Amino acid sequence: MPENPKYKKVFNQISRYSTVGLELGFSIAIGVIAGYYCDQWLNTTPWMTIFLLLCGVAAGFKRIYQALKSLEREQEEEDAAGQ
């Protein structure tokens, strides 16, 4: 049975964009962990944890924005090809 290219494209998009949530969570977790250890090393509790947490949140939202822009670009290309 031949594969339907439409379904293949949908599954490709699902797999690519389902990782965005994981990237957000991991970037926040890495920021908190790194901040905790920096606080222990520099004795600056809780400032490095807060700062690196905010850096992780910013990095996660930047990745979400990039993924949405990529999706929008693909949709525009598909619409232009269909006309």
If one compares 70 and 10, the residue with the highest pLDDT of the two is 70
The sign of the dihedral angle between the CA atoms of 19, 64, 23, 70 is positive
Residue 8 lies in a domain: no
> The domain containing residue 61 runs over which residues?
21-82
Residue 50 lies in a domain: yes
Residue 55 lies in a domain: yes
What confidence score (pLDDT) does residue 17 get? 79
Residue 69 lies in a domain: yes
Give the position of tokens 């797999």. Answer: 15
Q: Which of 70, 54, 55 is nearest to 20 (CA)?
A: 70
Residue 5 lies in a domain: no
Residue 14 lies in a domain: no
Residue 68 lies in a domain: yes
The total domain count for the chain is: 1
What does DSSP assign to residue 33? H
Separation between Cα atoms, residue 62 and residue 36, nearest integer Å:
23
Residue 75 lies in a domain: yes
Each residue of 9-65: pLDDT tens digit?
788 878 877 888 889 999 999 999 999 999 999 999 999 999 999 999 999 999 999
pTM: 0.79
Give the position of tokens 């670009």. Answer: 73
Instruction: Say whether 50 sits in a helix, a strand or coil.
Output: helix
Each residue of 46-57: pLDDT tens digit?
999 999 999 999
